Structure 1
Amino acid sequence: MNQLININKLIRNLIIIFSFAISNELFAQDYIWFHYFNRYKLSYKFSIDSDIGWREYFDAERYRGQIRSGLRYDINANMYARGGIMYVNGSVASEEIRFYQDYVYSFKIKDITIQQRIRFEQQTFTDPTKNFNFRIRYNPALKFHSPIGHWTLAAEPFVSVKKDGSYIGANRLLVGIKNKIYGNVHLTLQYINERAYSKAETGYIAENQMIRVRIDHVIHPLRTGPLFGRKKNR
């Protein structure tokens, strides 16, 4: 029965994806973002978090790809810290090596989970005309369950830190719905509104509407060593 429920959810989500993809009004100037996240458990406390993403602009000239991996440490059930490296390239993105460190904390108020993430990024570019950039991203989110899946409402401002003054370079607003489709695999459909800003302008200078199709996959290897599992209280 559970297997049937998961298949039904998968079919429903695929129908939603197809409906978005054929909507000319939605994707006239924007794109769809395919994103796979993998968490490989090394132990109860440590894991390797990796992801690979591709942004499809529906024409042959524009694309953007990224790959990222980092080491995660679960401080307790409600918080974790992580650090790693990311590679970005594409026709709409300069070739970039990005280092990142983030801290995530979550707690519950009744049936609502409140999650906060702060991420520090150090962006280096192969293009000699582009300067090193230090950026802070703050991502508050509300998560709650419904009969059709787990909903997320979130925002994410991107703050560029400069010697001559910091400013918000971009901001995202996000709504998403997540469902388990099989075992440790979840499928999330997200609508994201992203606005870009410049230090010299008072309003936003660009706006994108996008759909992200996100797959989260957790891998638990054979638990043969003493690092795996919780320590039993004696």
Structure 2
Amino acid sequence: MKKKFLILFLLSYLFSFAQNEKKVDQQSILWTRYYNVLTLDDHWSIHTEFDNRVFLKPIAENLFVFRIQGRYKWNSNIETGAGFVYFSVFTQDPQQDYDFEIPEYRAQQDITYKFNINKITINQRVKAEERFIHNASKTELLDGTTFSWRFRYRLQAEYSLMEKENHYLKAIVYDEIMLNAGKNIIYNTFDQNRIYAALQYGINKNISVELGYLKSFQQRPSGVDYFNRDIIRLSIFHKMYW
């Protein structure tokens, strides 16, 4: 009797472990973006961003992002912003190609605090996002949206490698953690962690380019499915003045 009980206990334990075992999808993605800053005066500016993301193995469209926000610079250390984001998600799995795109609409607010230590600039950002994701099945869009919150904290350091007239070269590293909240969030309060390293080169006083590597580890709504993503990010920054 004791042996039977022990066998049942071991089987149930192994079954429970198998049910909770993580399923991690390894993915490689290329992010390309154009980021425009229109400076209105010493305090106000408008930031506009176009971001396209493509899977590399195999090549497939991941998603497209449009973001616009107004920002206010309180002083040399503190800046705040608020804006709107539109996502068009083609697929999260490069092996699956859907005939429709899933829209997501976001409002966002953030506060950024930065200060300098010699040639290093430390930048801390706290951001809140209100996310409205269009409901969808595996075959079509459904009526309505699902709402959730996401809170983000990023700690970033920038180090000046070269600065000459209108040209510069700097190294950038950061770590960002994201947490979900809301009644629809059950298994994935932790959303993801991003670690990033890049070089940014100022071509002139208005245009700079940045090439970096981003490691993203993200938990999916099931709680046991994860994305482990290796991301190459190419950015063009364009400054304009009113």
* TM-score (norm: length of structure 2): 0.73
In the alignment, structure 1 residue 158 sits paired with structure 2 residue 178? yes
Maintained 8 Å contact 2:134/2:146: no
1:178–1:193: structure 2 CA closer, same or farther, 3 Å change rule?
A: same
**Amino acid paired to 1:145:** S
Secondary structure of the residue aligned to 2:203 is: strand
Q: Structure 1: how far apart are the matches of 2:229 and 2:205? A: 34
In structure 1, what is the Cα distance between the partners aligned to 2:173 and 2:197? 5
Distance 1:170 1:216 in 2: 26
Aligned to 2:80: 81
1:228 corresponding residue in structure 2? none
- Equivalent residue runs for 1:1-234 within 5 Å: 29-58=27-56, 61-92=60-91, 94-127=102-135, 128=143, 131-147=146-162, 149-163=169-183, 167-198=189-220, 201=223, 205-221=226-242
Shift of 1:199: 7.1
- Whole-angstrom distance in 2 between the partners of 1:33 and 1:199: 23
* SS at structure 2 position matched to 1:57: strand
Q: Note the alpha carbon deviations across 1:72-94, whole angstroms, 9 max, x for none.
A: 10111111100010100031263
Which one-letter code corresponds to 2:69 in the other structure?
G
Percent sequence identity is: 23
| CA deviation map 1:148-167 (0-9, x unaligned) | 82011101111101347782
CA distance in structure 1 between the aligned counterparts of 2:34 and 2:28, rounded to whole angstroms: 20
Please give the root-mean-square deviation of Cα atoms over the aligned residues, in Å. Answer: 2.3
Aligned residues between the structures: 193
Q: Deviations over 1:204-229 (max 9, x none)?
A: 722000111011111012xxxxxxxx
SS of the residue 1:62 aligns to: strand
Q: Which moved more, 1:143-152 or 1:74-83?
A: 143-152
Computing the radius of gyration from Cα coordinates, the structure with the larger value is: 2
Note the residue ranges of structure 1 that are not aligned, 5 or more in a row: 1-27, 222-234
Residue 57 of structure 1 deviates from its aligned partner by: 1.8
| Alpha-carbon contact 2:169-2:201 (below 8 Å) kept | yes
Higher strand residue share: 2
Structure 2, unmatched stretches of 5+, are 1-25, 93-101, 136-142, 163-167
Q: Conserved in 1, the CA contact under 8 Å of 2:27 and 2:228?
A: no
TM-score relative to the length of structure 1: 0.75
Residue 61 of structure 1: how far off its partner (Å) = 4.4
Q: In structure 1, how many angstroms separate the alpha carbons of the residues matched to 2:103 and 2:235?
A: 23
The offset of 1:29, in angstroms, is 4.0
Deviation, 1:182, is 2.5
In 1: Cα distance, 2:172 partner to 2:202 partner = 15
